Amino acid sequence: MKKMTINGIVAQVEDYWTVLEACRFYGIDIPTLCHHEGLSPGGICRLCIVEIGKGKRAKLVTSCNYPVEDGLVVRTHSERVIRARKMLVELLLARCPGSKTLQDLAAKMGVQRVRFKVKNENCILCGLCVRMCAEQMDAKAISFAGHGINRRVTPPFDIKSDVCRNCGACMYICPVCQLRCQGPEPPNVVCGACMNVEPVCLQDNEDVMCYLDTCGWCFKVKPSSLKKSGYGKEKIEEG
């Protein structure tokens, strides 16, 4: 067992855990996109970042592949973390606004605008399908090709591979293929429709449910309470 601090809570964690596993064990929600329990870590989306260390030496690391260590001090929702996560979601959303997974994340994190030109790609290059195919289906029918902005997922030589068994695992795991979002139309790339769920908090906010993570409902009702967290900031600005 190792002993570390997560958001001020002293945590006892298994030696072989990642910081993400430790946080989830303690019920702290950290958004991820390229991570899946059954697959090796991808380190691609960077959404799972947390802040470690203190003062000037504090830095952001990806929790999905950062091994736990004794005495580690982790903050999962610091201002710096939130700011970075929101920018990452904004970048991804500009690339791929048709993903419901991304729209939900945006809604939840209060990403209210996309300041980049919209691309409407069908893939965020999270690599889940590639790892799923190789690690769980033992097929390696698809892989990454190209580098930089030309990076894409494709079968070898762009021809359907004969090791592909049409199992559909790649589509099952894909955050873009699996759920499409019909909501948004440019210029407002962010739909936010999914937020219109019935409030789960107590009727008149005698208590709140968001001591671990915000559900997004409350800033419609009581924006001032959220000012500090950075959530829903744009919403507040836009009135």
216 binds ligand SF4 (CB under 6 A): no
- Rounded Cα gap, residues 36 and 136, in angstroms: 11
Mode of pairing for the β-strands spanning 73-75 and 2-6: parallel
CB of 214 to other proteins, least distance (A): 21
Give the nearer residue to other proteins in terms of CB position, either 81 or 218: 81
Q: Is 26 exposed, middle or buried (0-12, 13-18, 19+ CB in 10 A)?
A: middle
153: partner contacted, choices ligand FES, ligand SF4, other proteins, none (Cβ within 5-8 A by kind)? ligand SF4
95 binds other proteins (CB under 8 A): yes
Please say whether the beta carbons of 137 and 110 come within 8 A: no
CB of 69 to ligand FES, least distance (A): 18
91 binds other proteins (CB under 8 A): yes
Pick from 68, 125, 141, 142 the residue near other proteins by CB under 8 A.
125
Sign of CA dihedral 33, 25, 28, 210: positive
Pick from 13, 28, 48, 129 the residue near ligand FES by CB under 6 A.
48
- Rounded Cα gap, residues 105 and 73, in angstroms: 26
74: partner contacted, choices ligand SF4, other proteins, ligand FES, none (Cβ within 5-8 A by kind)? none
Amino acid type, 37: E
Kindly provide the residue ranges of all beta strands, DSSP E only, lying in the chain, ordered along the sequence: 2-6, 9-13, 49-52, 59-62, 73-75, 143-145, 152-154
> Contact positions toward other proteins, by CB under 8 A?
41-46, 49, 59-62, 65-67, 80, 83-84, 87-88, 91-92, 94-95, 115-117, 124-125, 146-151
